Amino acid sequence: MTFSPNRVAVVTGGAQSIGRAVVDRLSKAGVDIVIADIQLEKAQASAREVTAASGRRAIGLGVDVSSTKAAGEMIEAALAQMGRIDILVNNAGTTRDNLIMRMDEADWDKVIDINLKGAWNCSKAVIRAMMKARYGRIVNMASVSGLAGQAGQTNYSASKAGLIGFTKALAREVASRGITVNAVAPGFIPTPLTDVLPAELKEGLTKMIPVGRMGTTDEIAYAVEFLAADEAAYITGHVLSVDGGMVMM
């Protein structure tokens, strides 16, 4: 996988977990990085670490992706400081799991606003610059929960299913301008979002995975790198499941 010189990527939720793994892979591949995270200090610290490790330009910006205004300001700041944006990875996400009988409206709204509206906000903010450049790679972080559903996750599953539909619709809109839009659907990956799950639930989920183990954040980052690379120009509107065979469709 190769990247033309001076490519710039914005990774939301890029200061931790899967987002940080994506940042590390892209920077090592020669891409300059904007780490956009709700935790500004952590984003800035991560940017310093990335530059020290890879020698690439990296900056950290604070953003609440659920805010249209904040997302727009983040993209404006990234363009002003980096000069261009070639790759957008919509990775920022959250969970508020509960059975529907016990789920608060606020928990539904929060997950939809961050996971789905957040991707719309950031994509809308960056798309004009990509269309002007006649080049772009947008990679959305979906989930197997968006493909198959998961009990106790009506909000999360709906947000990720919506993100898959968003991916396909946007891919059709911008394909003629040299912009691809794809999604990665991780399976069961150890992250802070899954750490809170009961041990018996984790064991049960692992038994559902044909390869017999959980995945790693780097395996997800590899899939993102593939879809973001120059060679992936003929792949768009695709959902790449990285789940050890957990959901086969």
User: For residue 222, what are its two tokens?
Assistant: 């590899």
Burial class (CB in 10 A: 0-12, 13-18, 19+), 210: exposed
Cβ atoms of residues 3 and 230 within 8 Å: yes
For 195, phi and psi rounded to 5 degrees? -60, -30
Could you tell me where the beta strands, DSSP code E, fall in 6-143? 8-12, 32-37, 58-62, 87-90, 136-141
- Set 135, 156, 222, 234: catalytic member: 156
**For residues 136 and 88, is the Cβ–Cβ distance under 8 A?**
yes
> From edge to edge, which strands make up the β-sheet containing 32-37?
58-62, 32-37, 8-12, 87-90, 136-141, 179-186, 239-242
**How is 66-97 classified by DSSP, letter by letter?**
T-HHHHHHHHHHHHHHHS---EEEE-------
Q: Which of 115, 84, 80 is nearest to 7 (CA)?
A: 84
Please say whether the beta carbons of 82 and 129 come within 8 A.
no
Active site residue 135: no
Residues designated as active site = 156
